[in-house]
Amino acid sequence: MNDAVQRASDALLKAQKIAIFAHISPDGDTLGCVLALTHALKKLGKEVIPCAADGVPHGLKWLPGAEWIQQTSERRDFDLAVVCDAGALNRVGTSLLPIVESAPLLIDIDHHVVLGDTFGDIQVLDSKAAATAELIYTQIRSLEASTGQALMDAEIAECLLTGIITDTGSFMFANVRPETLLLASQLQQEGAVPAKICEQVYTNHTYASQKLLACALNSLQLSPNGKVAWAFLTGKDFEEFNAVDSDSDGIVNHVRDIQGVSIGLLFREIPGKKIRVNLRGREGVAVNEIAAVFGGGGHRLAAGCSLDPPLNEAIERIIAVAVQHLEEKALPL
């Protein structure tokens, strides 16, 4: 990976106009990465356009530089495109994909490493990193080493620590490594304030999101073996509270966090579209394998996919696969 980091630094320093892309339904990691890299490259005098097809969700609008994020761009004159934390190229979103593809050179920086889905002329990939923010930190340090210019500051540190905190569930997930905690400490020393980040991310819910949580928990059900829990949100629920998609972020964790439950699923009915499913697992399962059956993907403990309506049939189909997955995992090797 070190070689790829150096080649990425060389390409970033050679380019003048750089577009940086987040993934659809953006989270704290993808936006934290895009903005941290944007801050660093602006300091180096680069012209940078940070893009996210779905914009910035309510809970992340406070990120330093969030106002720079563009949902689309007419421009095609970039020297270089960078995609952060996307998992697969099409996850930049259909509206931005042609822009990414028009760039003469493409860098992919990511901790989702899905065989067969890698892309980019330069690939800075590490599936052991808890967040892509860990890789962006390394990249920015490499840019500093190459130029002799100090780039790290409190704003960059805040963006990166946000990525680490959100992708580790505030250091509660199994992806936390000693390196992750050391880096968090380093970022706090650089000026990031963990309490501020957690307050913004976790204690600043919209009214609509709390009402959606109530609807979802009201619909909660358990499989006969008690190991799969699911909840759903209908199009009507979203309508009633004038809620947007990002208002349902995080609800799936409540569905999984039940005694005895190994897999939690949240179904979201989006009128005129496929039914979105968020999957969360506990150690020992691989929910991305379940999502893959339906053309989706993600991490072992957090994944997503889409199914055709109607809702009740979608629920039946995926629960059957989830229950079977647990039976297979329970078999002795």
- Distance between CA atoms of 203 and 141, rounded to whole angstroms? 32
Alpha helices in the chain, H assignment, sequence order? 2-14, 28-43, 97-102, 132-147, 154-167, 178-189, 194-202, 207-218, 235-240, 251-256, 287-293, 311-330
Position 135, amino acid: L
- Distance between CA atoms of 131 and 249, rounded to whole angstroms? 18
Residue nearest to Mn ion (CB): 29
The minimum distance between CB 235 and Mn ion, in angstroms, equals: 28
Binding mask 115-144 for Mn ion (x = CB under 5 A): -----------------x------------
Q: Are 43 and 12 in contact (CB under 8 A)?
A: no
The minimum distance between CB 259 and Mn ion, in angstroms, equals: 28
- CA–CA distance from 57 to each of 29, 66, 78, 215 (Å)? 13, 10, 26, 21
Task: Name which of 164 and 212 has its Cβ closer to Mn ion.
Answer: 164
Whether omega before 64 lies within 30 degrees of 0, making that bond cis, reads no
Residue from the set 52, 65, 85, 162 that interacts with Mn ion by CB under 5 A: 85
Task: Name which of 130 and 266 has its Cβ closer to Mn ion.
Answer: 130
The minimum distance between CB 26 and Mn ion, in angstroms, equals: 10
Q: Is 269 in the site for Mn ion (CB under 5 A)?
A: no
DSSP helix/strand/coil, 161: helix
Residue from the set 108, 134, 158, 167 that interacts with Mn ion by CB under 5 A: 167
The minimum distance between CB 40 and Mn ion, in angstroms, equals: 18
Q: Are 266 and 278 in contact (CB under 8 A)?
A: yes
- Distance between CA atoms of 49 and 60, rounded to whole angstroms? 18
- Distance between CA atoms of 225 and 92, rounded to whole angstroms? 38
Task: Name which of 13 and 89 has its Cβ closer to Mn ion.
Answer: 89
Residue 218 has a CB neighbour count (10 Å cut-off) of 10
Q: Is 54 in the site for Mn ion (CB under 5 A)?
A: no
Task: Name which of 109 and 229 has its Cβ closer to Mn ion.
Answer: 109
Q: Is 249 in the site for Mn ion (CB under 5 A)?
A: no
Task: Name which of 46 and 91 has its Cβ closer to Mn ion.
Answer: 91
DSSP helix/strand/coil, 307: strand
The minimum distance between CB 85 and Mn ion, in angstroms, equals: 4
Q: Choose the binding region for Mn ion from 96-104, 164-172, 256-264, 267-275 (rule: CB under 5 A).
A: 164-172
Q: Choose the binding region for Mn ion from 44-52, 80-88, 169-177, 204-212 (rule: CB under 5 A).
A: 80-88
- Distance between CA atoms of 277 and 292, rounded to whole angstroms? 12
# residues near Mn ion by CB under 5 A: 4
User: Containing H/E element for 56?
Assistant: none
The minimum distance between CB 223 and Mn ion, in angstroms, equals: 29
Task: Name which of 15 and 140 has its Cβ closer to Mn ion.
Answer: 140
Residue from the set 29, 155, 158, 249 that interacts with Mn ion by CB under 5 A: 29
Largest CA distance in the chain: 61
Structure tokens of 234? 């209908």
Task: Name which of 30 and 248 has its Cβ closer to Mn ion.
Answer: 30
Position 189, amino acid: Q
Q: Choose the binding region for Mn ion from 13-21, 81-89, 181-189, 277-285 (rule: CB under 5 A).
A: 81-89
The residues binding Mn ion (CB under 5 A) are 29, 85, 132, 167
